[in-house]
Every structure is written in C-alpha cells, then in structure tokens.
Amino acid sequence: MKPNYRYFVFSILFLTAFSGALRAAESGWTTLEKTPLPEIHVPKIDRLTLGNGLQLLMLQDHELPVVRGFLYVRTGALYDPPGKLGLAAMTGKLLREGGTLKRPPERFEAELAAVGADIESDISREFGAIGFKCLKEDLPKVLELLFEMLREPAFDAKKLELVRLQMLEQLRRQNDDPGKIAVREFPKLLYGKDSVWARTTTPEMLKSLTRDDVLDFYKKYFFPDRIILAVSGDFSKQALVKRVETLTKDWPRAAEPLPVPAPVEKRWTAGQTLIPKSADQATLLLGHFGDKRFNPDKFALMLLNDILGGEALVSRLGKRVRSTLGLAYGIYSRFGLETDYGVFYIMAQTQAKNAKRVLAESRRILEEIRRPGSVTQAELDFYKQSLLNSLYSEYEPRYNFAKDEARFAYYGYPPNYLELFRQNIENVTLEDIQRVAEQYLKPEALQILVVGDPKEIGPMPGARVMSIGQ
C-alpha cells in the first residue's frame, strides 16, 4: 500500500481529474451527453528475446536526440529472508550507489556526469526497477555502465553505511507521520504481520544487515533471463541489439526458479484497531481483502471503485464526506488487484474529533453503493470516459508506452493489453457494476484502523490498542 493511491491499472497508472468532467459531474449525471469512448493508438514496439533470456522492447522516436531506458528485474522485498527485512531495498540502492568492480563509486559517478546521463535503481516489493536517460550519442557508454553495474557491482562498504543511515532516517520519519503509519500497519490486520505482503523492517534489522547479506541477495536474483529492458527514443535498433548482446555475453541464466510465496488465505473478519498518536489530525483506513490481478471482474471493479472513491472531488466519498459535510481533508478508495489477493480500502485524513463521523459516513456510503439502482447509466458512462481519458494522458510523452509495456510484460499481460483494456472497460454494464458491488464489497467484514489522539477521537468500544511498530 502507498499513501497517495488514486487507482492503478497495475500500480502504474494514476487517475487525475479534468475540469470539464468535474463541471459535468456537478451539473448532474442525467444531463451528461453520451459520447464515444476515446481511442488509443499504441505505437509499434519491437520485441526480442536474446539467447540468454533477456527480453528487449524497443520504441523508436527520432523527434529528439534523447534515449530513455526502463529495466525490470524479477526480484523484490518478497524475497527478503526472515529477520533481514529491508535487504532488497538496500541492495537496490547500493547497486547504483556502491560502484562496480572496475569503477569505484566516485569514478562511476564522474563518468556518468561527464556525459550528462542519469541512472537510478530501486527494489520494491515485487520487482527491481532501473531507469536511465542520456543523449543519443552517449547511449553506448551508458549501456556499458548500466550492465557493468548489473553484472559486477562492488557494493562499497562506505556507501553501505550511508545507505543504512538514510533508511534508518526514512523509518524514523515514517513514525512521525500518522498517514504513513496507517498505510504501513493496515495490511498487517489482513495478512498478518509476518506475511510477505505486510511485513515491515525495524531499526534493529536494518542495523544488522551486512555487505555479505547484500552480495548473497544479488547473487541469488540477478540473471539475464529475469530482466526486461525497454528502450525508447532516438537510436538504431540494430546497433542497440548488438550492443546489449555484447555487454551480456557469457552471462548465465538462473539455475533455479524463483521462490513461490505462500498463498494468501482470504479471511473475512471485522475488527477495530487504534494506534495512539498525539496529533490534531487523524488518519483512518477501513477495508478488507481485494482480489487478484487476472480476475475477469477487474474492469468492473475498477469502475466501481472510481464511482465509490477513486477521485477525491467527484466520487461518492469525495462529494459527500469532503465537499458536502466538510469532514475530511482528503478521502479516497482503492480496490487492490495484485499478484495474490490485494487490499480494498477507504483512506481518509480528518480532524481527530471527526474520525468516528467519517467512519460512520464511509460505511453508510459503502452500503448504499451495493443497493440495486444505486449507480445510473449516465454515471457509469461518465466514469468510463474519465478513466480512459486519464489513462491515456499518461502516454504524453510517448516514452511511457515503452515503460508501461515492459511492466505489462513483467506481469504477464499480452502485448495488445492497452487495446484490450479499452474494450473491456467499454463492455462493462450496469448489471456488472451491481453484481461486483454485491459480491466484492463486504461492509460487515471491515477491518478499521485509526491513527490519532484517543482523547480527541473519543471512545472506540472493542478496539484493540496497538503501539507504533507493534
């Protein structure tokens, strides 16, 4: 979970509001004129799998002499060993910051700076991500540095200590922010605190990580057949393929398959939890399990979520709780569709004294949207338009096509997924919306988490009180 979700197609594509759509919504759904859904024109992306298994996606664009690359590695914090949480994240940072066996950190940095190029790396829960940007003429050099970093990382000991301090400070700051505390702790109420989908690191774990731990993690997960590289911009396809083949020559494939996390057991248990935090503002989350990424009801669920709370200003939650009643600074919902069961939740930030009113109103809206006839055809048409318009705006500039096509490939979607996405959104009916609302939204099974000052919030009968990081 992340604190600024609007809605994801796969945790990549955010929805935004448009002023014209907002005026239409405010004037009433029945006055909305039905217009054809927008088309999307996906440029040609060439795909090639090298002999060592590395997948290469290429999108040429000669408008500017610039090249961007997006590389995904099949790794992630899912694979952190017990007791060493934070190891994947530390490896991702050190991969870029820790130099290579041929170039210590200072020289690596200087050679990148000499050509005005950027390389960034990170490892999140389900993947490693590396991005680069350079001028056309510097692409061969930047590719050399990129694959040297991938194949011969040094994980410099001094840089490791610097990264450790940065991660410890980041964790400390999380504990100062009620919103970040809530987002971090809520999944534990559903999955359990030791689940790979919910567990979080501690200062003690971060302090215990060693260079050998980082090196062992790297050796276990970094292989060419676990890499998808998308390149977009002004380059020669033939020259690019030749260069990548040369730089990855003799790089062996993985000898063992990736570990498979234990499947999530989907349980429907209501409960309340309070995390005391002295502050005028309270953060609250209420929700339950979502579903899986390839669920055929995904498209109806996305639209249902947008109607419920996907957009802060025009959704049911936003209009009533934020705009009409003035109870929240911000409120939205997300229906998570992940590799295993995701999380459906409503998140709001409010004055602590209003927390229980926001909870009650959110529950009421959730119950209302499940009733037959709650959603109108005009409302559904509006959200189809809004979703597709917002989605397609992500592809200006064009290089985002390459970036997202690589992510789609990583998750196993077909090459024509964007076209299929539009078709499936268009095919959602009011009956579909009603069916998934009744099937997937369960107001009687909500887990509720409130982070704030108990004196301002008032009594929460039956709530479990939990300290930060417990």
Q: Give all domains of the chain, ordered by start, each with its CATH number.
A: 19-33+263-465 (3.30.830.10), 46-247 (3.30.830.10)
What one-character-per-residue DSSP string does 356-402 give? HHHHHHHHHHHHHHTSTT-S-HHHHHHHHHHHHHHHHHTTSSTHHHH
- What confidence tens digit (pLDDT) does each residue in 54-93 have? 999 999 999 999 999 999 999 999 999 999 999 999 999 9
User: What is the pLDDT, as a whole number, of residue 395?
Assistant: 83
Q: Which positions of the chain have pLDDT values less than 70? A: 1-35, 312, 469-470
Task: Tell me whether strands 330-338 and 464-465 are parallel, antiparallel or unpaired.
Answer: unpaired
Crossing angle between the packed helical segments 377-393 and 19-26, to the nearest 10 degrees: 170
Cβ–Cβ contacts within 10 Å for residue 285, how many? Answer: 26
C-alpha pair distances (Å), 10 with each of 14, 93, 212, 368, 370 = 10, 23, 33, 28, 25
User: What is the pLDDT, as a whole number, of residue 3?
Assistant: 39
Tell me how far apart the alpha carbons of residues 441 and 155 are, in angstroms, rounded to a whole number.
Answer: 47
Model pTM score: 0.89
334: CB partners within 8 A, 6+ apart: 5, 6, 7, 8, 305, 309, 310, 343, 344, 345, 347
Crossing angle between the packed helical segments 377-393 and 430-440, to the nearest 10 degrees: 90
User: What is the pLDDT, as a whole number, of residue 229?
Assistant: 98
User: What is the pLDDT, as a whole number, of residue 17?
Assistant: 32
User: What is the pLDDT, as a whole number, of residue 35?
Assistant: 64
User: What is the pLDDT, as a whole number, of residue 408?
Assistant: 96
User: What is the pLDDT, as a whole number, of residue 247?
Assistant: 98
SS3 17: coil
N-terminal to C-terminal alpha carbon distance within the chain: 18
Tell me how far apart the alpha carbons of residues 70 and 197 are, in angstroms, rounded to a whole number.
Answer: 25
219: CB partners within 8 A, 6+ apart: none
User: Cβ(202)–Cβ(85) under 8 Å?
Assistant: yes
Q: In what order do the strands lie in the sheet with 464-465?
A: 291-292, 330-338, 341-351, 281-289, 447-452, 271-276, 464-465
- What confidence tens digit (pLDDT) does each residue in 27-56 have? 444 444 456 777 778 899 999 999 999 999
